[in-house]
Structure 1
Amino acid sequence: MKKLTQAIRPQSSGFGLIELLVAMAIGMLLMGATLKLYLDLSRSHQDMARVNQQVEAGGVAIQVLREDLLHAGFWNGYVPEFDDLTYAGVPTDYPTAVPDPCLAFASWTATEKTNRLGMGIQLYEDVPTGCATQLPGRVAGSDVLVVRYAQTCVPGSANCAALNVADAYFQASQCDTDTARYSVALGASGTLRRRDCATPAERRQWVNNIYYLATSSDGMPTLMRSSFSEGVQQPAEVLIEGVEAMRFELGVDQVSDAGLAVGLTSAVAWTNPQVRTSPTNRGDGAADALCRAAMPCTLADQINAVTVKVYLLIRTLNQSQGYSSGKTYFVGDPSDSDAEFGPFSDGFKRHVYTTSVRLTNISGRRETP
């Protein structure tokens, strides 16, 4: 019986060579498919990270420029005579020339200060004369924007730097008996007063920011900003990498609400002198024409700018393997021959970001009921 049981029991002989090779081939196929899936997921993740970085860079760049432009022309209650609808005389402070944005404070004359107060922004197609040291390595085809205002916080208050005697500060008078309407001076104590003619008026730091694009040491196009500090325009510092092209359009207020040309060098003329709700030779705060750096923008264009449209071409910091695109990008008005960029075949993904900013401090004081 024992021998019979052993005879009918199946014998285990293991895998044969062919079976082993088939199993190995199936295993290799599964491993290859798994590896390909992993690599595809990893590449997709890296691609998504690059795009997210690009979106973040574009959003931050737009936000930085937008916030600065919203403050352009803020002088803490002071309004130049030529833009003050309550001033009845002939204005004496209309800017006579475009200021040198990089001139050291020690060289500012009274006229230089007046010109600066009358121009909240300046726009250039290239690096302004006198700014080569502060703005090196400009990217060709990108604009240079100057934004000027008095700091929106008082020195020493929350989130505001303490007063520095080496910095320039703006002070606006609210007292009728003060001999001057404003003061721009280094950080010594100011003499102008508030409405009670006893309390010293606030001093706010002078802001003169210059934005442009430069190429970093590793070849990356970068948004740069030069700030005014300790009486001089400082060398530009890195803000955001990956900004490849930057253009601006100024919306210029050229026509009054009475339909006549703006003329800021003469006294205000009213359609009805008794009611005084519609000046015939002052702007209405709305843009009537566009101005671009390549035109170039005139002195009057920049004084009367009430809106700014920003165009930014942002690229990823790293190339995407196998990526190719035949797209062209318009950084500015498509009707401009030099507004078109691309197509590119370098593996970088790109996107154009735009925003329009109303210069509230300039356009708002021109509005009438």
Structure 2
Amino acid sequence: MNRTPPRLVRQHGFSLVELMVGITLSLLLLTALASLYMSTTRTRAEFSNSAEQMENGRYLLDTLGREIELAGFFGASGLAKSAIPSSPDLCATDAAALGFSGSPVTMPLGVQGFPPGTVAPCLTDLLPTSEIVVVRRVSTTPAAAVSLGQSYLQASYCADDTASLVFGASAPAFTLRTKTCNAAVPAELRQAVVRIFYLAGCDQCTGTGDGVPTLKMAELSGGAFQVSAIAQGIQDMHLVYGVDMDNNGSPDCYVGDPGVNNAAACTAVAGYDWSTALANWQNVTAVRINVLARTSRMSTGWKDSRSYDLGRAQPSGPFNDGYKRHVYAQVARLVNVAGPRE
């Protein structure tokens, strides 16, 4: 029998032109995807950069504002209202030098500011252009016992006690009593709190330092100042102090330095005497906090040509670099000074 041979099946493939068109379309698609990925990554990094800046600025205002609100708290005895103000050395650590005295009753200023250029050996890595603010008070929680190296305030509530207060670090010295005048029930002890806020040129300052401007706090603990970082990226800080000139608790004039004669700028209350620096600082009932925060990393294609108003006669900037900046401001009230006046 004659058999018909099988038909050959012709195989078809891509032509060179079709292959080149396919590769070109694939490259265009990959380029678009890569561009989208890079744009998303850059946007996410910028968002993280800005979010970190906002968090640092607001955290600083919250922390410093809360400390200023507690400033001048020296227990519930009411002695602070009639006490003579004192201005201890900024870096004083010994109990006898912290500004407390029982005869006559003397207590340190709750808040005091120091201008740029102040010599302060206890403030490590202090920027020469930084303002300094110190907050003094006692702990809001009574201490159960005396700890080694700490200083405490004990105020008398007993009419038979010969002293109004005792301040020191020695347990046997605290013999004042409560209003029951029972020697077995001593009056409460409150640990002294001294916290100094300032700007440093670095966060991690070992070696040459990381170059990140940082707000730091030096806290008196165990007879020495311990420094810790509060917020990174804080490039500038300016504090303006509200002075109560008529003793009603409300600030009548905001000045950069209450320790000098501000009669020409503060005319709201006639007859106020600016001649005593300690009295002026004692009359501070509010603090306006102005800080300039920058991002931790530069932004590609960004040039900061803006100026920033922190309440000084001259604005800060322009810096003409790649960091983004923002001013944060808040008014903090010295409740323990303003409240009793009201």
Q: TM-score, with normalisation over the residues of structure 2?
A: 0.84
- Determine whether 1:137 maps to 2:121: no
Q: Which residue of 2 aligns with 1:337?
A: 313
1:96-117 deviations in Å (ceiling 9; x for gaps): x632121231552877787972
Instruction: Report the RMSD for the aligned CA atoms in angstroms.
Output: 2.6
**58-67 or 203-212, which deviates more:** 58-67
Structure 1 contact 99–116 (Cα < 8 Å) conserved: no
User: CA distance change for structure 1 residues 153 and 3 in 2, over 3 Å: closer, same or farther?
Assistant: farther
Task: State the 1:230 CA deviation.
Answer: 2.3
Q: Which residue of 2 aligns with 1:243?
A: 234
Unaligned 5+ runs, structure 2: 203-208, 262-276
Task: State the 1:321 CA deviation.
Answer: 1.6
User: CA distance change for structure 1 residues 215 and 52 in 2, over 3 Å: closer, same or farther?
Assistant: same
User: CA distance change for structure 1 residues 350 and 296 in 2, over 3 Å: closer, same or farther?
Assistant: farther
CA distance in 2, matches of 1:102, 1:127: 15
- Determine whether 1:100 maps to 2:75: no
Q: Which residue of 2 aligns with 1:208?
A: 194
Task: State the 1:41 CA deviation.
Answer: 0.3
Q: Which residue of 1 aligns with 2:250?
A: 286
Matched AA of 1:365: P
Q: Give 1:25-44 correspondences, 5 Å limit.
A: 25-44=24-43
Task: State the 1:126 CA deviation.
Answer: 2.6
Q: Which residue of 2 aligns with 1:123?
A: 113
The match for 2:180 among 173, 192, 196 is 196
Structure 1 contact 223–238 (Cα < 8 Å) conserved: yes
1:142-163 deviations in Å (ceiling 9; x for gaps): 310000000111235xxxxx74
Aligned length: 315
Unaligned 5+ runs, structure 1: 85-92, 157-161, 256-282
CA distance in 1, matches of 2:48, 2:278: 44
User: CA distance change for structure 1 residues 213 and 109 in 2, over 3 Å: closer, same or farther?
Assistant: closer
Task: State the 1:187 CA deviation.
Answer: 4.6
CA distance in 2, matches of 1:94, 1:251: 20
Task: State the 1:344 CA deviation.
Answer: 2.6
Structure 1 contact 99–115 (Cα < 8 Å) conserved: no
Secondary structure at 1:301's aligned position in 2? Answer: helix
CA distance in 1, matches of 2:239, 2:99: 30
Share of identical aligned residues, percent?
30
Q: Which residue of 2 aligns with 1:151?
A: 139
CA distance in 2, matches of 1:328, 1:46: 25
1:51-79 deviations in Å (ceiling 9; x for gaps): 11111111211111011111101011233
**198-207 or 223-232, which deviates more:** 223-232
Matched AA of 1:101: L
Secondary structure at 2:89's aligned position in 1? Answer: coil
User: CA distance change for structure 1 residues 33 and 112 in 2, over 3 Å: closer, same or farther?
Assistant: farther
User: CA distance change for structure 1 residues 181 and 115 in 2, over 3 Å: closer, same or farther?
Assistant: closer
Structure 1 contact 291–301 (Cα < 8 Å) conserved: no
User: CA distance change for structure 1 residues 14 and 109 in 2, over 3 Å: closer, same or farther?
Assistant: closer
Matched AA of 2:253: A
User: CA distance change for structure 1 residues 110 and 121 in 2, over 3 Å: closer, same or farther?
Assistant: closer
